[in-house]
Structure 1
Amino acid sequence: MDPRISKQRTALVLDQPFFGALALRLAVVEDPSCETFWTDSERVGYNPTYLASVSDLEVRGVLAHEVLHVANGHCWRMGDRDPDLWNDACDHAINPILKSAGFILPAGALIDPRFSGMAAEEIYSILAQEARKREKGKKDGGKTDGQPGDKSGGQSGGNTPPQSANGANTPNATPSPKSAPSCGEVRQYRGDDKPLKEAEWKVAVLQAAKAAQMRGGLPGGLQAMVGQAVEPIVDWRSILHRFAQQVSPTDYSFAMPNRRYLHLGLYLPALHEPAVGDAVFVRDSSGSVFDETQAQFDAEILAVNDSLRPRRLIVMDCDVRVTQVQIFERGDPIDLLPVRGGGGTAFIEPFARVAQEGIDPAFLVYLTDMDGRFPDEAPGFPVLWASTTPLRRAKQAPFGEMMEVIC
């Protein structure tokens, strides 16, 4: 280990016990092939040339930067996202916390006030959406195609490269110029024991936080981060499918006996699943729900429809008004049209349409950022709000259940 890294890691243990305790869990390796620093939750790699170009206090900041990547679970949550864009999103998520804790980061560290308090997944969606708009603007001769009601601001918060580190094209990012390298790269853990490793780090983060609190060395921003980092992550898709199944009628009936036991002379009831009514899904078309989230939501609409086979599948788009309605009878081929709209946000008209047009929903699922006007009265059917804003910050619905959709 380079003596400068050893010295700054010791300084973390003495001056910033939360970071110091976690830094000791990471082996340090020299890696001239990388641009700056990196971590994969087991090691911290560094380029000696880059190390020589930054000050001692910046070395300490970069070590804390890598620790915070792991503490936030960034080494396990990338999924199929573009690695470079994911790295930028993760940097935006943690660098403000490091700054508020008093660390000094190298020049060019990504910090954008727009992303304050956001998770890396939220930031990634915004950066990817903005990258697509820039690319579309280039194809259209320099014009951007921002929709009314778009809350992204239309400005890039940092480097948004079109390809992953290995050069593979990805669907969630589009070309943009390569900016200065990140002061510390986050890499995905590739071991077979990923769930175990993630659980071990959550325990370590809690223990480090408690030890730092006893020494009076855990700033408020870190306290909030620790609480979020150790929260159990529940896949919103499983919540959606469980909700749809639970509100669908099932019962046992003697009308069609269980044939498995007839040969034994036993006349037992069979599980009877009457036809599910209308499955209604509403997509917020104001521009505040990003394209990749809409695409994943559409995929789950199809999956729920295949699973439940409702009488009808009804998909509405709504900003302030309902802008598009698609109705599919059971057995119809389903090809969902792109979301149509682009205005403000209000949640009233879809519920009014259901009442006015005699729709009989088994349930209604509404995908939105929760920033809009709600109906004054609760409907007489189950409602699930699929919030693209984390529930800790989302406006609370006056009725129905809520789940967090972070893609």
Structure 2
Amino acid sequence: MNSANDQGARLKMVRARSALVLDHPFFASLALRLELREDVTCSTAWSDGRVLAYNPGYVNAVSLERIKGLQCHEVLHLACLHHTRREGRDPKLWNKACDYAINPILLEAGLSLPTGFLDDPKHYGKSADAIYADLLAGLDEVKGGASGGGQEEQNRQAEDMDAKGGRGDSGQGADEPKSGGQNQADMGDQSLAGAGGDSQAQGEEMTESTDPGMSGEVRDPSPGSQAPEGSSQDMQEEAWNAALAQALHKARQCGKLPGCLERFAGGRLFPTLGWRELLRRFLAQAANNDFSWVRPNRRHVHSGLYLPGLHSLELAEIAVAVDVSGSISQAELERFASELSAVLEEFTTEITVLTCDATLTSSRRLSSMDLPLDFAGTGGGGTSFRPPFQLLEEGGPPPACLIYFTDLSCDAYPEDPGYPVLWVTTSREFQPPPFGEVVLMEECQ
């Protein structure tokens, strides 16, 4: 039967979960989906989408507030589908990338994370996939640079750094400039917990830790004997997306949903692809594909089939509105002009381009003959979204679609115009517009 220490650890996990119901209903709604399970072979805790396993010695050594943070850390991994998205990547490096992606959200939500958590401003706003690529590139650079001590020595140093949660002797490494402000008692206790606590003395063997941040790891889903028949990765992802929507709704009802979680949940429930891909997909839906027998499809000629080939891609009338208010930088305008230049090269069309701050500042017709495009921030005032829509309404037949480049830092919207609108925004902090689709443009480098 469980020892007193093990029972105390479970009680602490239950108490932390109960406290989340009052303090953080968003996380509590997700945490209550998981089965609590002891696991003395792990160094801290882990979850695979169904189980939240923990090392009793570790839990007993950490404060209740940090156990609450650990549970929120675990469920945010699952809400991001980190347990289903690894796709063969290195588990330890994947956990590190995922920690960098979610820890800023947890800290902004006011949670305390266990000692050694990973946090680096250079990764803010990036996906776990992008961070993993950055970390992997950094490892390749270390392996390629034969400086001092040789590659074997560098590898040993890298392993030592990972074993310390990415921290050097000073408690802070180059790759992890911040590892959380914890007291010495916590750090000493966690060293004991990392060794498995009392349970280690019973002959249990520790598995290799893939939790470099010491805040709880995420593992691939393992259906197990209690999994519903026919369960799959897709079913798990659908279930967690539904759970995320329910958690968002409950937290809103309680009036306890921090803005960072509102933005996170909105981005997860209404995901966007790369903005360039979405921009072209949006335009392609309005394109008329012209086929011609004069130019047969060469892919099928070798088999004796003569099928009409695609003659051209012609767009119906489209309009582009560009926010030139003071909050938009010239660098952002130049990147957007570059993307529209590529559109004009790909499609046979003319574009009505309207620039606007608080009022309409210019209106012109552009085609491939006007390449390369160049937008200048001639406005610089406040922002109103209404003037471009008003001009298009007064100017005759409505366009097939409108693309609005803006930071969405305005609430002066017109009525829904009835045609497709794509808002391309440079800001991650915005209130969703009352109509149209939103796609986030990557920040300028």
The TM-score with structure 1 as length reference comes to 0.53
Match of 1:63 in 2: 71
**Structure 1 segment 321-340 matched on structure 2, within 5 A:** none
Match of 2:258 among 211, 219, 239: 219
- Show structure 2 runs of 5+ residues with no match: 1-6, 152-172, 179-209, 224-230, 298-304, 314-333, 348-364, 373-423, 429-438
User: Shift of residue 219 of structure 1?
Assistant: 1.0
Change (3 A) 1:393 1:3: same
Change (3 A) 1:189 1:240: farther
CA contact (8 A) 1:88 1:158 kept: no
Alignment RMSD: 4.7
- For the residues of structure 2 that align with 1:130 and 1:242, how far apart are their CA atoms? 33
Match of 1:113 in 2: 121
Match of 2:32 among 24, 34, 42: 24
- For the residues of structure 2 that align with 1:238 and 1:347, how far apart are their CA atoms? 15
- For the residues of structure 2 that align with 1:77 and 1:90, how far apart are their CA atoms? 10
Change (3 A) 1:185 1:237: farther
- CA offset digits 1:26-67 (Å, max 9, x no partner): 111112222211111111111222222212221111011101
Q: Which amino acid aligns with 1:81?
A: R
- For the residues of structure 1 that align with 2:134 and 2:78, how far apart are their CA atoms? 22
Match of 1:50 in 2: 58
Secondary structure at the aligned position of 1:111 is classed as coil
CA contact (8 A) 2:96 2:118 kept: yes
Secondary structure at the aligned position of 1:226 is classed as helix
Secondary structure at the aligned position of 1:251 is classed as strand
Q: Which amino acid aligns with 1:39?
A: S
CA contact (8 A) 2:290 2:310 kept: yes
- For the residues of structure 1 that align with 2:93 and 2:136, how far apart are their CA atoms? 8
Match of 2:293 among 242, 253, 256: 253
- For the residues of structure 2 that align with 1:403 and 1:116, how far apart are their CA atoms? 15
Change (3 A) 1:240 1:76: farther
- For the residues of structure 2 that align with 1:255 and 1:393, how far apart are their CA atoms? 41
* Counterpart check, 1:380 vs 2:368: yes
Change (3 A) 1:220 1:256: closer
User: Shift of residue 7 of structure 1?
Assistant: 1.1
CA contact (8 A) 2:100 2:119 kept: yes
Match of 1:210 among 249, 263, 266: 249
Secondary structure at the aligned position of 1:218 is classed as coil
**Larger of the two Rg values belongs to structure:** 2
* Counterpart check, 1:156 vs 2:164: no
Secondary structure at the aligned position of 1:28 is classed as strand
- For the residues of structure 1 that align with 2:290 and 2:51, how far apart are their CA atoms? 52
Match of 1:189 among 201, 221, 228: 221
Match of 1:171 in 2: none
- For the residues of structure 1 that align with 2:277 and 2:110, how far apart are their CA atoms? 40
- For the residues of structure 2 that align with 1:182 and 1:4, how far apart are their CA atoms? 18
Change (3 A) 1:156 1:248: farther
Match of 1:271 in 2: 308
- For the residues of structure 2 that align with 1:378 and 1:50, how far apart are their CA atoms? 64
Change (3 A) 1:231 1:55: same
- For the residues of structure 2 that align with 1:378 and 1:69, how far apart are their CA atoms? 46
* Counterpart check, 1:201 vs 2:201: no
- For the residues of structure 2 that align with 1:10 and 1:251, how far apart are their CA atoms? 64
- For the residues of structure 1 that align with 2:283 and 2:91, how far apart are their CA atoms? 34
* Counterpart check, 1:13 vs 2:16: no
- For the residues of structure 2 that align with 1:127 and 1:208, how far apart are their CA atoms? 32
Identical-pair percentage: 35
Match of 2:137 among 119, 129, 143: 129
Change (3 A) 1:378 1:57: same
Secondary structure at the aligned position of 1:45 is classed as strand
CA contact (8 A) 2:294 2:308 kept: no
User: Shift of residue 253 of structure 1?
Assistant: 2.8
Q: Which amino acid aligns with 1:156?
A: D
- For the residues of structure 2 that align with 1:379 and 1:214, how far apart are their CA atoms? 50
- For the residues of structure 1 that align with 2:137 and 2:294, how far apart are their CA atoms? 54
Q: Which amino acid aligns with 2:266?
A: G
User: Shift of residue 128 of structure 1?
Assistant: 1.9
User: Shift of residue 275 of structure 1?
Assistant: 11
User: Shift of residue 6 of structure 1?
Assistant: 0.9
Match of 1:40 among 43, 48, 52: 48
- For the residues of structure 2 that align with 1:361 and 1:48, how far apart are their CA atoms? 62
Change (3 A) 1:196 1:72: same
- For the residues of structure 2 that align with 1:241 and 1:115, how far apart are their CA atoms? 27
- For the residues of structure 1 that align with 2:145 and 2:346, how far apart are their CA atoms? 42
- For the residues of structure 2 that align with 1:378 and 1:83, how far apart are their CA atoms? 50
Change (3 A) 1:99 1:254: closer
Bigger share in helix: 2
Secondary structure at the aligned position of 1:201 is classed as helix
Change (3 A) 1:243 1:57: closer
Match of 1:85 in 2: 93
CA contact (8 A) 2:77 2:98 kept: yes
